């Protein structure tokens, strides 16, 4: 094999060989046989997070959605790797029983951002991984693409509370491409984009020039870059890897048009939920789950069905990107 081709693979896999992990950290991670085989063969793999299952949606819709999202990834030619910490073991690729366990645990699973990883593992706990933690483990095992619904960001009034999601810092230091529907308007979208710029993160909107706001296609903020196909995304990711920029990429896919109509109803529910969160002094890592659940109650489930629809759409596009990337790297 030509040396340039070898270095490409080395860059992507980050020296990780699932059948022969070298570092102590790599040996602490359990990779499912299916994901392990796919990684060894250079097949397309898509990482999926688990906080969306435990804290982002109620049971049983969380379990149904998690299974459907995995099925969509498969239908589009990639292998899903849902990531979670079970009994203190970071797992990459969950069995149906493990997915069920996590969905039933719900909020009893610890919402695990990067700062919590060592404690959850050291104490043998059950951790649902947020975007930052899922990126950390995806990168460790050499999965370059990760699909979710929405990422964390700079909270409103973040300039005084300093509540800035560790997802943004992780995007600044971990070379994984995250496919999401942008950032929710429960957050300060323009400051989130400013912060991502500071962190050196490439932000690309998919088939649009405007950065999407999760429940709505538009946020009023221009996206720094635009991509129009899975191939465009794959070239972007491949270039990011080859240049060893070592930063993540955020690919923002707008919610499908047929589900965005409810955006305005959802927006007014968000305003009310934000007011309630301030009145009840809810802050820190409890804020996002509170707002999501309250918005869902206030919209009579409309926000949940929009959320499910956009995650499935992201799964389809993310899997197509993963397939295109694996072809590029053959």
Binding segment (CB under 6 A) for ligand PSU, from list 45-53, 95-103, 195-203, 232-240: 45-53
Under rule CB under 6 A, residue 49 binds ligand PSU:
yes
Q: Which is nearer to ligand PSU, 48 or 323 (CB)?
A: 48
Q: Which is nearer to ligand PSU, 38 or 102 (CB)?
A: 102
Q: Determine which one of 49, 70, 217, 287 is catalytic.
A: 49
Under rule CB under 6 A, residue 38 binds ligand PSU:
no
Under rule CB under 6 A, residue 90 binds ligand PSU:
no
Question: Which residue in this structure is represented by tokens 């896919």?
Answer: 253
What are the tokens at 171? 């995007």
Under rule CB under 5 A, residue 116 binds Mn ion:
no
Under rule CB under 5 A, residue 188 binds Mn ion:
no
Question: Which residue in this structure is represented by tokens 């050291």?
Answer: 122
CB of 302 closer than 8 Å to CB of 266: yes
Q: Which is nearer to ligand PSU, 115 or 275 (CB)?
A: 115
Q: Is 217 a catalytic residue?
A: no
Residue from 90, 127, 149, 254 touching ligand PSU (CB under 6 A): that is: 149
Question: Which residue in this structure is represented by tokens 């690729």?
Answer: 93
Q: How many Å apart are CA 262 and CA 162, to the nearest integer?
A: 31
* Binding site partner of 312, from ligand PSU, Mn ion, none, Cβ cut-off 5-8 A by kind: none
What are the tokens at 291? 């707002």
What are the tokens at 27? 């040996």
* Cβ density class 158-176: b for 16+ within 10 Å, e for less: beeeebbbbbbebbbbbbb
* Binding site partner of 254, from ligand PSU, Mn ion, none, Cβ cut-off 5-8 A by kind: none
Under rule CB under 6 A, residue 127 binds ligand PSU:
no
Q: How many Å apart are CA 96 and CA 98, to the nearest integer?
A: 5
Contacts with Mn ion, 204-223, as mask; x by CB under 5 A: --------------------
Alpha-carbon dihedral of residues 223, 229, 233, 238, nearest 10 degrees?
Answer: -150
Q: Which is nearer to ligand PSU, 152 or 248 (CB)?
A: 152
Binding segment (CB under 6 A) for ligand PSU, from list 5-13, 30-38, 60-68, 162-170: 162-170
Alpha-carbon dihedral sign for residues 243, 244, 247, 252: positive
Q: How many Å apart are CA 299 and CA 267, to the nearest integer?
A: 10
Under rule CB under 6 A, residue 152 binds ligand PSU:
yes
Among residues 184, 194, 192, the alpha carbon closest in space to that of 310 is found at 184
Q: Determine which one of 111, 184, 287, 312 is catalytic.
A: 184
Q: Which is nearer to Mn ion, 8 or 155 (CB)?
A: 155
Under rule CB under 6 A, residue 285 binds ligand PSU:
yes
Contacts with Mn ion, 145-184, as mask; x by CB under 5 A: ------------------x---------------------
**E strands, the chain, where?**
30-31, 45-48, 79-86, 89-92, 110-112, 127-129, 145-147, 177-180, 202-206, 225-227, 249-252
Under rule CB under 6 A, residue 185 binds ligand PSU:
no
Q: Is 43 a catalytic residue?
A: no
* Binding site partner of 81, from Mn ion, ligand PSU, none, Cβ cut-off 5-8 A by kind: none
Q: Which residues contact 176 (CB under 8 A, 6 or more apart)?
A: 47, 135, 138, 139, 143, 144, 145, 146, 248, 249
Q: Which residues contact 10 (CB under 8 A, 6 or more apart)?
A: none
Q: Catalytic residue numbers?
A: 49, 184
Binding residues for ligand PSU, rule: CB under 6 A, are 49, 51-52, 55-56, 113, 130-131, 149-152, 165-167, 184, 285, 288, 292
Binding residues for Mn ion, rule: CB under 5 A, are 163
């Amino acid at each position: 094999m030509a040396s340039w081709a070898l270095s490409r693979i080395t860059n992507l896999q980050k020296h990780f060989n699932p059948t022969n992990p070298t570092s102590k950290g790599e040996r602490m991670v359990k990779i499912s046989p299916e994901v392990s085989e796919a990684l060894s063969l250079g097949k397309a793999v898509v990482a999926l997070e688990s906080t969306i299952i435990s804290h982002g949606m109620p049971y049983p819709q969380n379990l149904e959605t998690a299974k459907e999202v995995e099925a969509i990834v498969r239908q589009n030619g990639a292998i899903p790797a849902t990531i979670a910490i079970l009994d203190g073991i970071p797992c990459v690729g969950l069995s149906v029983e493990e997915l069920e366990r996590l969905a039933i645990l719900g909020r009893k699973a610890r919402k695990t951002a990067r700062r919590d990883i060592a404690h959850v593992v050291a104490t043998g706990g059950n951790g649902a991984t947020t975007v930052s933690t899922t990126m950390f483990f995806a990168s460790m095992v050499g999965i370059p693409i990760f699909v979710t619904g929405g990422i964390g960001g700079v909270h409103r009034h973040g300039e005084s509370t300093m509540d800035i999601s560790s997802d943004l810092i992780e995007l600044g230091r971990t070379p994984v491409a995250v496919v999401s529907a942008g950032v929710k308007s429960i957050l300060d979208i323009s400051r989130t984009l400013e912060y991502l710029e500071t962190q050196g993160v490439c932000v690309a909107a998919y088939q649009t020039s405007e950065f999407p706001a999760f429940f709505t296609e538009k946020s009023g903020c221009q996206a720094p870059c635009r991509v129009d196909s899975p191939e465009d995304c794959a070239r972007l990711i491949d270039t990011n890897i080859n240049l060893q920029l070592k930063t993540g990429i955020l690919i923002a896919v707008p919610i499908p048009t047929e589900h965005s109509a409810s955006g305005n109803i959802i927006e007014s529910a968000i305003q009310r939920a934000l007011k309630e969160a301030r009145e009840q002094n809810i802050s820190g890592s409890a804020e996002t789950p509170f707002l999501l659940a309250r918005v869902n109650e206030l919209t009579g489930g409309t926000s949940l069905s929009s959320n499910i629809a956009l995650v499935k759409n992201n799964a389809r596009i993310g899997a197509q990107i993963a397939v295109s990337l694996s072809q590029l790297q053959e």
